[in-house]
Structure 1
Amino acid sequence: MTRTILVTGANRGIGRELTHRLIADGDTVIALGRDAAALAELGCRTVVADLSRPETLAEAVSSIDHLDALVHNAGIAEVGPVAELGLDVWQRHMTVNVTAPAELTRLLLPAVRAARGHVVFVNSGAGLSAGALWSAYAASKHALKALADALRAEEKPNEVRVSTVYPGQVATDMQRQLKKSMGAPYDPEKVMSAGTAAESIRYVLNVPAEATVHDLRIAPSNVVPHATTMRR
């Protein structure tokens, strides 16, 4: 049966790979992102929206009344010591990585409930442990875990499933930019592909409705996961 699935951050990286796979499966995908041109290349229904402005999301998704799954994939990451991170950095992380997913979930819950659907949060290894330089990003991802856990408990009576996927290092533009900002080398042999990360999310979405994957942690096989490396 064809499902309708909304994917945020669909214009690049994991979100783009996931969108391609879901379309190939025959699902109807609603791709949400900021880059209208990149979204148009996906060949599916699109929603152009800016998660840094959660107050604009209600109008952007007002026409959606049935949703089998909502995948919160979009996110931002900046690194730096607590002593140097300004208020604007903290506010950006909390707005894009936590407040926007919470608001989008609130707006779309009626559509998800109508389908007895599924909400999937794409988190990070940083959502489980934090290392030096990762305070703002990790704090936002810990908060996203709390949002997912609370939502799972609240929506169980409505038969809405809630899952969190925690990818480790993934070969995305975000990963390359982070390595550069940290003055660290980017080694493509020590990251998983965006396609592999997307496949793990697809797996969670395809688990039969009689079961729910609460948490799925996935990391590159050729590195030892630890607090400073497990980052999406």
Structure 2
Amino acid sequence: MSPEFNRQLSEKVAVVTGASSGVGRSIALALAAEGADLALLGRRTSLLELVKQECTDRGVRAVCYRVDLLEERELGEIKERVLSDFAGVDILVHSAGMIAFSKFAMASAEDFELQHRCNVLAPFALTQLFLATLIERQGHVIFINSTAGLVGTPGVSQYSATKHALKGLADSLRDEVNPEGVRVLSVYLGRTATPMQAKVHQWENKSYAPEQLIQPEQVAKVVLVALLIGPEAEITEVRIRPAKKPGLAKK
């Protein structure tokens, strides 16, 4: 049981994509500690099962759903699968994502399409599928975005474009569903200690020091604050960056 929040999400149901590792895993565990039941979505069944066990150890119900967000058919089936196990959905967390590295001149249309399908179309489709139950239960939609969705970054023009698109999607959705009692949060992450970030450092030919980066557990804490702030307020955007910034002089 969390000493800070005292299981204030009991009787809530959360769907978390990318739940098998990284930020998605940490958010799922934090939600479980607050009493929420979990629908865990991901591609790697063995890792999902480990997260499921960690969630159930916290005294909640958790169900794994193996789904490839790039497959339209699997996306279309996930609503029926989840709502056959749970009465509804209160929290939808979009944490899954993918990145491809390339200078603009050499970037491929195929890579762009894959990133767009994973980073934009999948969150769009899942939100649309669960929107009715989220409205009925006056829930939350949480988009784990990137600071690349605020400022373009060399070498990842396609990824940055998809994250800018995700920002636009979240901003428009927020204004549409706020009158229905649904709150929408975008979390813009700087460099975070995740498997994806390890690949970024490898591509940049830089040493990887995860202890100097944002920790996934810290992101989960921020998400909990937004969920538990109370019905009178809404946190719409949060930008998180590592405290240690290479190249900045110490004052």
Of 9, 12, 18, 1:9 maps to 18
- Which has the higher mean CA deviation after the structures are superposed, 197-206 or 13-22? 197-206
Quick check: 48-57 or 75-84, which moved more? 48-57
Q: CA RMSD in A?
A: 1.6
Question: How many angstroms does 1:163 deviate by?
Answer: 0.8
Q: Which residue of 1 aligns with 2:151?
A: 129
**In the alignment, which residue of structure 2 is the partner of 1:147?**
169
CA distance in 1, matches of 2:19, 2:106: 31
> Residue 20 of structure 1 aligns with which residue?
29
Match of 2:70 in 1: 52
- Runs of 4+ aligned residues of structure 1 deviating over 6 Å after TM superposition are none
| 1:5/1:29 contact within 8 Å kept | yes
Q: 1:152 and 1:203 mapped to 2: Cα distance?
A: 18
- Counterpart in 1 of 2:59? none
- Please give the alpha-carbon distance, in whole angstroms, between the structure 2 residues aligned to 1:216 and 1:11: 23
Q: Over residues 172-212 of structure 1, what are the superposed CA-to-partner deviations in whole Å (9 max), with x where a residue is unaligned?
A: 11101111012122223431111112222222222212211
Aligned pairs for 1:1-232 within 5 A:
1-43=10-52, 44-63=62-81, 64=83, 66-223=88-245
Judging changes above 3 Å, is the alpha-carbon distance between structure 1 residues 225 and 92 closer, same or farther for their aligned structure 2 residues? farther
Secondary structure, counterpart of 1:204 in structure 2: helix
Letter matched to residue 153 of structure 1: D
Structure 2 distance, partners of 1:122, 1:143, is: 13
- What TM-score do you get using the length of structure 2 for normalisation? 0.86
Q: Distance in 1 between matches of 2:232 and 2:67?
A: 33
Q: How many positions carry a matched residue from both structures?
A: 226
Whether the aligned pair in 1 keeps the contact of 2:24 and 2:95 (CA below 8 Å) is yes
Instruction: Determine helix, strand or coil for the equivalent of 2:106.
Output: coil
Gaps in structure 2 of 5+ consecutive residues:
1-9, 53-61
* TM-score (normalised: structure 1): 0.92
Kindly state the Cα deviation for residue 225 of structure 1 after the two structures are TM-superposed: 10
Counterpart CA distance in 2 for 1:149 and 1:215 is: 10
Are 1:5 and 1:69, in contact at CA under 8 Å, matched by a contact in 2? Answer: yes
Deviations 1:133-184 (A, max 9, x none): 1201110000000000010011122111111011111111110111101212
SS at match of 1:42: helix
Question: In 2, Cα distance between the equivalents of 1:147 and 1:120?
Answer: 12
CA pair 204-54 structure 1, distance change in 2 beyond 3 A:
farther
Alignment-mate amino acid for residue 28 of structure 1 = D
Give the 3-state SS of the residue equivalent to 2:177 in structure 1.
Answer: helix
Letter in 2 for 1:7: V
Residue 230 of structure 1 corresponds to none
SS in 2 for 1:221: coil
Which structure has the higher relative contact order (CA within 8 Å, separation 6+)?
1
CA distance in 2, matches of 1:46, 1:189: 30
Question: Structure 1 vs Structure 2: percent identity of aligned residues?
Answer: 34
Bigger drift between 92-101 and 23-32 goes to: 23-32
